[in-house]
């Protein structure tokens, strides 16, 4: 397992292929293995970097409060160590939040952005923040973390049993450290970029699955399409939230078309 010291912790990563750098950022409570269906395809034309966010996969947990900004800072430090300046970031779900933060806080390091089934966050107003906290507390009282993992695995695995098995296995791994699990969850609940989206100025591709696994993600994506200039939206057929597994061929083609169409002058 390649790993590098980053921001007083260690980040596990993989480095494939040669060419323009493409950094793939996984979602919540999974790991860089999320991107296995994409590696062979994109390593033919790009240098592909995948990493485990702090407290995920093979990157160890730490005790300080997590935030999307901290995860973004970790990735920038990793790129510094690898000698990479400007890259294309692709983030899935929660990883898309991290990618947004990278574009907002480190615009000079971002060549282009791919946001896959992502969101600008759940708490854009104090009222929404309070409702989110209340709902999360109520849900946690009714359903144990173990059953939550099984519930989400079953739901997201409707189109592909492999997806459900993967999410359940990854979720169980992250549940082994309850404090870290809650730390990650809190980071996801406190992020919001809604009123900053207009500051993202790099070419941006928004990608959704055909099926509404997470309806509010689709609503957020439509708003991101309006607020981010320039941005475009593509749908992956026969796919839900985990579209890079549900229909990897179509997803890879969608990404490939965007990457090959990027202007040469943004290098």
Mean pLDDT, residues 205-210: 98
Question: What would the two tokens of residue 172 be?
Answer: 């169980």
Tell me whether residue 194 is exposed, middle or buried, using C-beta atoms within 10 angstroms of its C-beta: 0 to 12, 13 to 18, 19 or more. middle
Residue pLDDT, tens place only, 124-134: 556 555 555 55
Residue pLDDT, tens place only, 217-229: 999 999 999 999 9
Rounded distance, CA 178 to CA 190, Å? Answer: 19
**Pairing, β 9-16 against β 3-6:** antiparallel
More confident residue, 110 or 144: 110
Residue 207, SS3 per DSSP: strand
Question: What would the two tokens of residue 193 be?
Answer: 């970029």
Helices (H), 57-214: 68-82, 94-105, 126-142, 145-156, 161-175, 178-190
Instruction: Check pLDDT > 60 for residue 9.
Output: yes
Instruction: Determine contact, residues 42/71, Cβ cutoff 8 Å.
Output: no
Structural domains of the chain, ranges and CATH numbers in brackets: 3-125+178-266 (3.40.50.1820)
3-state SS of 208-244 is EECCCCCHHHHHHHHHHHHHCCCEEEEEECCCCCCHH
Residue pLDDT, tens place only, 63-84: 999 999 999 999 999 999 999 9
Record the pTM: 0.93
Residue pLDDT, tens place only, 141-160: 556 778 777 877 888 887 88
Rounded distance, CA 42 to CA 48, Å? Answer: 7
Rounded distance, CA 250 to CA 242, Å? Answer: 13
pLDDT of residue 263: 86
Rounded distance, CA 80 to CA 86, Å? Answer: 10
Mean pLDDT, residues 158-181: 90
| DSSP 8-class letter at 199 | G
Residues near 216 by beta carbon (within 8 Å), at least 6 away in sequence: 119
Nearest CA to 247 out of 113, 148, 116, 57 is that of 116
Question: In Å, what is the CA distance from 198 to each residue of 26, 57, 150, 195?
Answer: 24, 33, 37, 7
């Amino acid at each position: 397992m390649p790993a590098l010291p980053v921001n007083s912790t260690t980040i596990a990563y993989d480095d494939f292929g040669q060419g323009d750098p493409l950094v793939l950022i996984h979602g919540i409570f999974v790991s860089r293995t999320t991107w296995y269906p994409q590696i062979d395809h994109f390593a033919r034309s790009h240098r592909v970097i995948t990493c485990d966010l702090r407290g995920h996969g093979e990157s160890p947990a730490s005790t300080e409060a997590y935030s999307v900004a901290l995860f973004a800072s970790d990735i920038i430090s990793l790129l510094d160590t690898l000698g990479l300046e400007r890259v294309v970031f692709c983030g899935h779900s929660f990883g898309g939040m991290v990618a947004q933060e990278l574009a907002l806080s480190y615009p000079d390091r971002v060549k282009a952005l791919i946001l896959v089934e992502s969101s600008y966050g759940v708490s854009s107003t104090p009222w929404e923040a309070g409702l989110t906290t209340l709902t999360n507390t109520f849900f946690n009282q009714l359903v144990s973390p173990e059953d939550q993992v099984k519930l989400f695995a079953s739901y997201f695995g409707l189109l592909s049993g492999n997806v459900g098995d993967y999410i359940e296995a990854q979720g169980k791994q992250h549940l082994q450290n309850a404090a870290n699990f809650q730390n990650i969850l809190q980071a996801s609940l406190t992020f919001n970029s809604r009123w900053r989206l207009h500051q993202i100025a790099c070419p941006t591709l928004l990608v959704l699955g055909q099926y509404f696994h997470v309806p509010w993600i689709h609503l957020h994506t439509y708003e991101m399409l309006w607020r981010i200039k320039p941005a475009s939206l593509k749908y992956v057929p026969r796919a839900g939230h985990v579209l890079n597994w549900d229909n990897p061929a179509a997803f890879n083609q969608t990404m490939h078309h965007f990457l090959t169409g990027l202007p040469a002058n943004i290098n």
